[in-house]
Amino acid sequence: MYQIPCPHCGPRAQLEFTYERTVDSVVDPAAAPDEAMRALFTRANPRGLDEEIWRHTFGCRAWMVLTRHRVTHEITQVRATGPEALP
Amino acid sequence: MNRYSALGLLRGALGGHKHWQPAWRDPEPKAHYDIIVIGGGGHGLATAYYLAKVHGLRKIAVLEKGWIGGGNTGRNTTLVRSNYRLAPLHDFFEFGLKMWEHLSDELNYNVMFSPRGAMVLGHSDADMIRLAERGDAMRCDGIDAELLTRDQVARAEPLLDMSRSARFPIEGAMVQPRGGTARHDAVAWGYARAADALGVDIIQKCEVTGFVRDNGAVVGVETTRGRIGAGRVGICVAGHSGHVAAMAGLRLPIESQTLQALVTEGVKPMVNGVVMSNSLHCYISQSDKGGIVMGGDPDNWPSYAQRGQPTIVQGAIAQAIALMPALSRLRMLRTWSGVTDMSFDGSPIIGETPVRNLFLNGGWCYGGFKATPASGWTYAHTLATGAPHPLNAPFALDRFERGATIDEPGVGPLPNHR
């Protein structure tokens, strides 16, 4: 288990957060069918860093984007995000 | 290959067991193979075995980055069943279940397949309707399934909490009597030994680091032990499919997540069959050594780390104890976790990729172990002929863009919501 630095609450237990999806899988409503298909049904799924949308569901309930390493769980960047990143 | 037999064991015992030979060779990689299978787990080894046995191919290599059976083959809960509602799934797994029934004879290796019954509990009227529908779908295709009443469940598993005040009251169950468990390591070792005897090169500590391309087509692999040419290459690395496929420039409908399981100290027989609950997502069985094996949900966020979050294990244990209170007296021996390919409809992917000569077997979610023989059989067919076997044709990679997903739970393309 690790801690996630919430942009609003500071470092909190990962248990308070839920993972939503990766940033590149947010479907743009104006996307062409093949782009939408790519965002909906495929992932880069790297064995390394990826940008992920998480939510402090059991805390302040705010959405955020984490840059997290998929093997070490190291979080290199956190940014608060507004409605533009919501699915 | 020395055939294993009771008589041979007795003879060996009289000679102080000095007769044992390594069960497979440790060959140096050759410059070129007809077919390379990446991944020396149960599925990869089974694929190589059927390529040699059924399709008569001789120049086959299995490349394994660690040691064979050291990935998810050694990290599952060893359950074998074919109790799915959708026809492509139950047909595929039933084909596999029929292979399990003869696998020890086929491989001359005791895989300890034990058809002790796989029971799915129902906790409400809605659960029972769903289970009846699923059982009917199975029986229509000739697969065994029986709906059990509360009394029958209580007789089959006396330690379940059948009281009306139970946290998860039990209304009944659907059982597949031919389902059960098998010995996971023996499956990898048995297939490895049998494949090796047919001339397959099993090359361990050989990690694939890239693909050799010629005019777009894959013509070999770069590995930590040098470049190896190949006619066709089959990826068979479930858990790490995304990582390996990315080397060929592919983005897959897969997200890698951690799945955990645990085992308790060994005790006398107390769980007769396999007890599962889809409403809770908890499964309980007792190994032949006596340990109670339990598993639960995946960690629900992407991870390639072969370690999980303790709270998930805690949740699985809480569910198991609610179903079977006597389990609370046991001590946990160990927990483990594996990296699973969570696919976007919960079904596996076996077939061609957009890259010529490159094939994919992955996306097994948390249900790959039971598929080992069927996966090997159909993937071998696909690799040998270049076209899918009828059983794996529905599991093509392009089914997502065709809108032909096989979504048993019906939850849509969100692997973390399964």
Task: Find the radius of gyration of the CA atoms of chain B.
Answer: 21
Task: Output the pLDDT for position B279.
Answer: 85
CB contact under 8 A, A43 and B311: no
Residues paired with residue B351 on neighbouring β-strands, in sequence order:
B360
Binned at pLDDT 50, 70 and 90, residue B308 comes out as: confident
Q: Out of A14, A43, A72, name the one closest to residue B254 (CB).
A: A43
- The bridge status of strand B60-63 relative to strand B32-38 is parallel
Q: Which residues pair with B295 in a beta bridge?
A: B261, B283
- Confidence band of B135 (pLDDT split at 50, 70, 90): very high
Q: B52: Cβ–Cβ under 8 A, 6 or more apart, which residues?
A: B58, B60, B195, B198, B199, B200
pLDDT at residue B37 in the model: 98
Spacing of C-alpha B353 from chain mean position: 22
Residue B185 pLDDT > 90, yes or no? yes
Number of CB pairs < 8 Å for A and B?
Answer: 69
> Do the chains contact at A41 and B400, CB–CB below 8 Å?
yes
For the residues of B151-193, what is the DSSP string, one character each?
HHHHHH-TTS--STTSSS---EEEEETT-EE--HHHHHHHHHH
The answer, for A52 touching chain B at a CB cutoff of 8 Å, is yes
**β B274-277/B332-343 pair status:** unpaired
Measured in angstroms, the CA of B343 and the nearest CA of chain A are apart by: 9
Mean pLDDT of B313-320: 93
Question: A71, B253: Cβ pair inside 8 Å?
Answer: no
pLDDT tens digits, one per residue of B38-93: 999 999 999 999 999 999 999 999 999 999 999 999 999 999 999 999 999 999 99
pLDDT above 60: residue A85: no
Please list every residue in chain A whose beta carbon sits closer than 8 Å to the beta carbon of residue B301: 19, 52
Q: Cβ–Cβ of A38/B252 closer than 8 Å?
A: no
CA distance A75 to A72: 9
Pull the structure tokens for residue B206. Answer: 């050989």
pLDDT tens-digit readout, B382-405: 999 999 999 999 999 999 999 999
For B400, nearest residue in chain A (alpha carbons) = A41
For B57, how many CA atoms within 13 A lie in the half-sphere containing its CB?
23
Taking 80 as the threshold, does the pLDDT of residue B194 lie above it?
yes
Q: Dihedral of CA B195/B390/B90/B350: which sign? A: positive
- At B219, the amino acid letter reads V
Tell me what pLDDT residue B86 has.
96
pLDDT at position B414: 74
Q: What letter does residue B30 receive in the DSSP assignment?
A: P
CB contact under 8 A, B242 and A47: yes
**Residue A37 parent element (H or E):** helix A33-41
Of A19, A47, A50, which has the smallest distance from its Cβ to B416's Cβ? A19
pLDDT value of residue A84: 57
Give the nearest partner residue to B242 out of A1, A18, A45, using CB atoms.
A45
Taking 3-state DSSP, the helix, strand and coil percentages for chain B, each rounded to the nearest 5, stand at: 30, 25, 40
Which residue in the block uniquely carries the two structure tokens 């790297």?
A: A46
Q: Is the model's pLDDT at B417 over the cut of 80?
A: no
Q: Which residues of B touch A25 (CB under 8 A)?
A: none
**Pick from B365, B382, B386: nearest CA to B374:** B382
Residue A86 banded pLDDT, cuts 50, 70, 90? low
Q: Does the ipTM surpass 0.85?
A: yes
A 10 A CB-CB count for B412 gives 12
Identify the bridge partners of residue B277 per DSSP, sorted by sequence position: B282
Determine the average pLDDT of the residues in B25-30. Answer: 97
Q: Do A15 and B311 touch (CB under 8 A)?
A: yes
Average pLDDT over residues B19-38: 96
First-to-last alpha carbon distance for chain A, in angstroms, is 26
What is the Cα–Cα distance from B98 to B100, expressed in whole angstroms? 5
User: What b-and-e string marks burial along B316-344, b requiring 16 or more CB atoms within 10 Å of the CB?
Assistant: bbebbbbbbeebeebeeeebbbbbbbbbb
- CA dist., res. B38 & res. B228, Å (int): 12
Cα-flanking dihedrals φ and ψ of residue B412, to 5°?
85, 180
Q: Do B255 and A45 touch (CB under 8 A)?
A: yes
In this predicted structure, what is the pLDDT of residue B306?
Answer: 86
- For residue A44, give the nearest of B251, B300, B305 by CB distance: B251
Determine the pLDDT at residue B280: 87
Q: Give the residue among A71, A24, A21 at the shortest CA–CA distance from A44.
A: A24
Does residue B162 have a pLDDT over 90? yes
* B295/B291 Cα distance (integer angstroms): 13
Residue % of chain A over a pLDDT of 90: 80
- What six digits make up the tokens of B324? 């079977």
User: What is the arithmetic mean of pLDDT over B406-416?
Assistant: 80
Q: Which of residues 21-40 of A touch B (CB under 8 A)?
A: 21-22, 37-38, 40
Cβ within 8 Å, pair B303-A73: yes
Q: CA nearest B198: which of B299, B72, B108, B99? A: B108
Mean pLDDT value across chain B: 95
């966020």: which residue's tokens?
Answer: B301
Q: For the whole model, what pTM was predicted?
A: 0.95
Q: Does residue B50 contact residue B377 with C-beta atoms inside 8 Å?
A: yes
| pLDDT value, residue B413 | 76
* Token pair recorded at residue B226: 């040098």
| Burial bucket for residue B255 (CB in 10 Å: 0-12, 13-18, 19+) | buried
Instruction: Tell me the Ramachandran region of residue B226: left when phi exceeds 0, alpha when psi lies from -120 to 50, beta otherwise.
Output: left
Amino acid at site B128 = M
pLDDT classification of B230: cutoffs 50, 70, 90: very high
Residue of B nearest to A44 (CA): B251
CB atoms within 10 A of CB A41: 20
The 10 Å Cβ neighbour count of residue B306 is: 16
pLDDT for the residue numbered B418: 58
Flag whether pLDDT at B325 surpasses 80.
yes
Q: What pLDDT score does B242 carry?
A: 95
Closest to B190 measured CA to CA, from B202, B178, B203: B202
Q: What is the pLDDT of residue A83?
A: 67
Distance from CA of B296 to the nearest CA of A (A): 17
> Is A76 in CB contact (< 8 Å) with chain B?
no
pLDDT band at B291 (very low <50, low <70, confident <90, very high): very high
The single-letter DSSP state of residue A43 is B
Task: Find, among B37, B63, B28, the residue nearest to B205 by Cα.
Answer: B63
pLDDT band with cut points at 50, 70 and 90 for residue B220: very high
Residue B309 has a CB neighbour count (10 Å cut-off) of: 19
Q: What is the mean pLDDT of residues B285-290?
A: 95
Cβ-defined contact of A44 to B242 (cutoff 8 Å): yes
* Residue A4 backbone phi and psi in degrees, to 5: -115, 125
Here the tokens at position B283 are 């499964």
**Measured CA distances, B85 to B88, B94, B119, B145 (Å):** 9, 12, 15, 11
Query: How far is B25 from B35, CA to CA, in rounded Å?
Result: 18
